[in-house]
Amino acid sequence: MPSSPPVPQLPPLKKRDMTIEELKKFDGQNEEGRICVAVNGKVFDVTKGKRFYGPGGPYAAFAGRDASRGLALFSVECHEGYDDLSDLNSMQMDSVREWEIQFQERYHYVGRLLKPNEEPTDYSDEEDASQDQSTVDTASSSPSSKKAD
């Protein structure tokens, strides 16, 4: 088996909310190769999952997109524009939330996916807090909560 290509190691994105248009820029095709995916109104940096979401990957269609509907309906087709998910039934919405939890456990949370005309939150005050989070000291977290990456 050939070994998989190295996954780019990028510094975490600064916490920021983004519109669907801004999210599109993080489709892995930019110079940086950074990939973001939105699930249930939350944007995650999935660059470390490049083998899934990168060009040629099985879920490349989700790169730079809101994957909520696709994940709920088991389809890699994506909705164009902002998707309010209001026509999904409760089972489908449960599925969206379960995926959201999985992404939360696996990937860095970047910020909210903005609805049209919604203003982004100013996170500049939180900068120190997010720094602390990225350098979590293992002494304060139980060994069982550590992720096997």
54 contributes a contact to ligand HEM by CB under 6 A? no
123 contributes a contact to ligand HEM by CB under 6 A? no
Q: Binding ligand HEM by CB under 6 A: which of 29, 52, 98, 126?
A: 52
36 contributes a contact to ligand HEM by CB under 6 A? no
Radius of gyration of the chain (CA): 16
Q: Closest approach of Cβ 41 to ligand HEM, in Å?
A: 17
Q: Which stretch binds ligand HEM (CB under 6 A): 70-78, 79-87, 123-131, 137-145?
A: 70-78
Q: Binding ligand HEM by CB under 6 A: which of 28, 54, 64, 70?
A: 70
Contact 36, 110 (CB under 8 A): yes
49 contributes a contact to ligand HEM by CB under 6 A? yes
Which distant-in-sequence residues (6+ apart) come within 8 Å of 18 by Cβ? 36, 43, 110, 111, 112, 113, 114, 120
Rounded Cα–Cα distance for residues 59 and 54 (Å) = 8
Strand, helix or coil for residue 109: strand
71 contributes a contact to ligand HEM by CB under 6 A? yes
Task: Please give the backbone phi and psi of residue 95, each rounded to the nearest 5 degrees, phi first.
Answer: -65, -40
Q: Which residues lie near ligand HEM (CB under 6 A)? A: 46, 49, 52, 59, 70-71, 74-76, 106
